[in-house]
Amino acid sequence: MTKEKDFTPIQKQCFDTSFPEIQERIRAGYGTVIIGIPDGEEICSFNMENFKPTKCELERLARTLLPEIQRFFSAEEGQREYEDYLKSKKCDK
C-alpha cells in the first residue's frame, strides 16, 4: 500500500486535489488510477502493486464493454480498422 509520505510529487498533487472519498479509498489501499480527461493518458496510480479485480468486477466490465466492441466490429469502418491493424502486426514480425 502506498503511504502518503512515499508519494511522488505527481501523486501528491493528484491526491491533494482529489475528492475526500477518493483520498479515503487510496488511504484504505484500493487500487486507483488517475487518468487525464483531455487525452485519456494515465497521470499516476496508487496501490496497484497487489491489485486484482474480483470475478464480479471483471464480469461487470465485460458487460459494459461488450456492446461497444460488438458495435465497432459490426460497422464497416471498424472492420476496416481491424484489418489495417492485423496488416500492421504482420509487418512488425
Provide the pLDDT for residue 45.
95
Residue positions counted in the chain: 93
Provide the pLDDT for residue 52.
81
Please state the domain extents for the chain: 4-46, 55-92
Contact 27, 11 (CB under 8 A): no
Instruction: Give the separation between CA 31 and CA 1, rounded to whole angstroms.
Output: 9
- For residue 44, what are the CA distances in angstroms to 3, 19, 21, 31, 47? 14, 16, 17, 11, 11
For the whole prediction, is pTM greater than 0.75?
no
Cβ burial of 25 (10 Å; 0-12, 13-18, 19+) is middle
Per-residue pLDDT tens digits of the chain, which is 93 residues long: 678 899 999 999 999 999 999 999 999 888 899 999 888 899 999 999 877 888 999 999 999 999 999 999 999 999 999 999 998 888 766
